[in-house]
Amino acid sequence: MLCMADLRVSYLGLSLDNPVVVSSSSLTNTAEKVAACAKAGAGAVVLKSLFEEEIEAEIAETARDSVEHTEAADYIRELQTGAGLKRYADVIRGAKGAVSIPVIASINAVSSNWWEAHVPRLESAGADALELNISLMPYDYHKDDEEVAAFYVKTVEAVRKLVSIPIAVKIGHYFSSIPALVDKLKWAGADAVVLFNRFYRVDIDTDSLTLTSASPMSSPEEIALPIRWISLMYGREEVELAASSGIHDGKGVAKVLLAGAQVAQVCTTLYRNGLDRIGVIKGDLEVWMDAKGFASIDDMRGRLSRKMSDRPETYERLQYVKALVGWE
């Protein structure tokens, strides 16, 4: 049977041929890799994040070989920051020249002044949009949840004043009220919020008795987290919602779209299966949509959200009901 489903979507005011977006990773750190993602069928790409720590490390390395002088240190900092930004801007320009799909720049920082001083260069390089990967976890017991949330909001407000391109904010789930934060980010200037960021994960080596890094890869089971919050917020927040974490196949994309996501960001499944996986995901999504009678993504988006339910209370109480009556 010929697939006729229309996979086109809009995200951040940009037109995408399909909702499969390659998330920020080493799969998108060069113009050549971005071109490979586009050839494989991606609807858009988010470039590998420009990390504040990477540039700071370069600065520290150079400073160790220089004289200890305040003016010299300031000069080195400016020189190295500029060099890092130039390399990143070159990737943006190269990618824009190589593909027709949207190219979204990504910046990962925890110092608000750092963001504010450098994001305009990413816009001038030609980025179609900007994803702010704010990686500040509420781990300090001297700072309450409101202080951490305020940092996110102030960062978005500052960046919004500096650029005119659309802004997405990628957040983690360590907040007492995710809907409240999403609403604040919208009014601060965010056009979309990506749920969720994957923070650095740790493990313990019981042989050496040391902390080690855990696998950064996601599992399909992790899709439950973005589904929960997107389904709760769809239609209630005046901002687009993108899903990230645990999306490994066409059914995974269908699930987050049914919950209300605008697009689905994929990463782990591409590392494990190669970029050809994008075509498989798109094909499986088309077949599923045809089988279910969905002519377009708009027809299905949010169909299983809280807003569209005749029993919205079940979205808040489902886990307790299942715990009481048992799983079948």
| Cβ contacts of 146 within 8 Å, gap of 6 or more | none
Instruction: For the chain, state the CA radius of gyration.
Output: 21
For 318-322, the CB contacts below 8 A with 24+ separation are none
Q: How confident is the model at residue 79 (pLDDT cuts 50, 70, 90)?
A: very low
The helix (H) or strand (E) run that includes residue 113 is helix 112-124
CB of 235 closer than 8 Å to CB of 281: no
Consecutive H or E run containing 264: strand 263-266
Name the pLDDT band for 246 (thresholds 50, 70, 90).
very high
pLDDT in tens, 275-286: 999 999 999 999
**The residue type at 275:** L
Domains contained in the chain, CATH given: 9-325 (3.20.20.70)
Q: Which of 183, 215, 179, 176 is nearest to 198 (CA)?
A: 215
Tens-place pLDDT, residues 256-313: 999 999 999 999 999 999 999 999 999 999 999 999 999 999 999 999 999 987 666 6
The predicted-structure confidence for 90-134, as pLDDT tens digits, reads as follows 999 999 999 999 999 998 866 656 666 678 999 999 999 999 988
9-11 and 14-16 beta bridge pairing: antiparallel
Chain centre to alpha carbon of residue 284: 23
